[in-house]
Structure 1
Amino acid sequence: MLCVSLAAAAVGLSGAALADSHGADDHAHDADKALVILTSDSLQTQGMAMILSNAMQQQGTELQILLCDAAGDLAVEGYSSEGINTPPGHPMEQVTPEGIMQMLMGEGASVDVCAIYLPNSDHGEDDLREGVGVAAPGPMAEMMRDPKIPVYSF
């Protein structure tokens, strides 16, 4: 896991250096950001959303992940999904969406549950994994409206 994290950092740093070396515009120093909204209860969809988020993070993207509906369960401490098989050549044979999510958080990704997740579940804020917050609608709407921040929904 540490090797994957170090490789992610190296790829992210080399991507930033490449952008600067090619005369990127004045926004080159602004962080490349993305908002990933995950609502699906499908294990493969959750896994692929996290795998693609990991690839974006390795390429230098600052991630904000919003977990809503059934995907909010990934944020609950102690929640454990089944492992999913990875494609050939992946450093790990099986992964879980919440495992990748925690790795992303360790590399700086912000993860929140939707504002309505907790009031509509059997969980409270104390049940969330360390580092997971509760999204406020206003700031989330600002990110969604910002044309410089792509929004990916799964």
Structure 2
Amino acid sequence: MHKTLVMAGVLALVPMVATADSHDAESDKALMILTSDAVQTQSMAMILGNAMRQQGTDLHILLCDAAGDLAVDGYESEAAVNTPPSNPAGKVKPEGMLKMLMGEGVSVDVCAIYLPNTDYTQEDLLEGVGVAAPGPIAEMMRDPAIPVFSF
């Protein structure tokens, strides 16, 4: 009887172990959705995204509404943001940080409705910026193993 109970307990844990293993494989991904037109909010999102990337997160950034402008080639924010004293950069602009993140392998898309609602075309976007398809983004948002951060 004791052997049967132990075996039943072990078998009951197998699905949890399989789920935990699967969750760990996905836990290194994150989706950041940025819609704000505020330069400080945009900059802080990029700073946090960079910190996540440095900690091993496979980050995907989705730029919508006014934040989509960051992905337009030649776009410049009106002002730079002062960084904390511990940051040697001194001042940063979110579009500069976005380019740096892309250079480090972060994937970036604009929302599917960004281009049709602006005067821009896909040719106006920075090289490497895509146009998000709703299906794959929805899959990421529904995946409980992929955290979603909105700014």
- Give the TM-score of the pair, scaled to structure 2: 0.83
Distance 1:93 1:113 in 2: 28
1:95-106 matches, cutoff 5 A: 95-106=92-103
Report the Cα offset of residue 91 of structure 1. Answer: 1.8
Distance 2:27 2:95 in 1: 25
* 1:30 to 1:140, Cα distance in 2 relative to 1, 3 A: closer
Number of residues of Structure 1 aligned to a counterpart in Structure 2: 130
1:28-47 matches, cutoff 5 A: 28-30=24-26, 32-47=28-43
Q: For structure 2, which runs of at least 5 residues remain unmatched after alignment?
A: 1-19
Report the Cα offset of residue 123 of structure 1. Answer: 0.2
Distance 1:123 1:90 in 2: 34
Question: What residue in structure 1 maps to residue 13 of structure 2?
Answer: none
Specify the code of the residue in structure 2 equivalent to 1:112.
D
1:66-81 matches, cutoff 5 A: 66-81=62-77
Distance 1:89 1:64 in 2: 26
**Superposed CA RMSD:** 1.2
Whether the 8 Å CA contact 2:27–2:145 is kept in 1: the answer is no
Report the Cα offset of residue 89 of structure 1. Answer: 1.1
Question: What residue in structure 2 maps to residue 83 of structure 1?
Answer: 80
Question: What residue in structure 2 maps to residue 6 of structure 1?
Answer: none
Deviations 1:52-92 (A, max 9, x none): 00010010000000000000000000001121110111020
Mapped pair 1:53 → 2:49:
yes
* 1:136 to 1:106, Cα distance in 2 relative to 1, 3 A: same
Seq. identity, %: 71
- Which of the numbers 15, 20, 26 marks the counterpart of 2:21? 26
Whether the 8 Å CA contact 2:46–2:94 is kept in 1: the answer is yes
Question: What residue in structure 2 maps to residue 118 of structure 1?
Answer: 115
Whether the 8 Å CA contact 1:33–1:61 is kept in 2: the answer is yes
Distance 2:126 2:90 in 1: 25
Question: What residue in structure 1 maps to residue 146 of structure 2?
Answer: 149
Distance 1:70 1:32 in 2: 28
Q: For structure 1, which runs of at least 5 residues remain unmatched after alignment?
A: 1-24
SS of structure 1 residue aligned to 2:87: coil
Pair member with larger Rg: 2
SS of structure 2 residue aligned to 1:141: helix
* 1:142 to 1:29, Cα distance in 2 relative to 1, 3 A: closer
